[in-house]
Amino acid sequence: MHAALAVPVQRTLDLTLGPIRYLENQIAQVEQWISTEVQACPAILKLATIPGVGLVLSSGIGAEIGNIKRFIQGTKWDKSANATAP
């Protein structure tokens, strides 16, 4: 790179990376909050142990399902989720 471009390019990179760093920090903070909250939810913690399913996804699933005890039978789950048998 030409020496005269080094400073403008660096400034542009800094301006571009600033918001990315900010968002990464915000994401980390939200993930920490989720981690703290789910400690009281053993089902969500257990779901998070599935490979590929972390605390954020398992928390979202838990929030969507709510109290699993309301599904006495599997068919009630299917109807609630608008699922159909293959």
For residue 86, is it within any domain?
no
**Cα separation, 16 vs 63, whole angstroms:** 34
Q: Which pLDDT does position 5 carry in this prediction?
A: 81
For residue 75, is it within any domain?
yes
For residue 63, is it within any domain?
yes
For residue 70, is it within any domain?
yes
Residue of 2 and 73 predicted with greater confidence = 2
Indicate the pTM of the whole model.
0.60
Q: Which residues fall within 8 angstroms of residue 68, CB to CB, at 6 or more apart?
A: 43
What domain count does the chain have? 1
CB of 55 within 8 A of CB of 38? Answer: yes
Q: Write the pLDDT tens digit of every residue in 49-83.
A: 999 999 999 999 988 888 777 766 655 555 555 55
CB of 47 within 8 A of CB of 53? Answer: yes
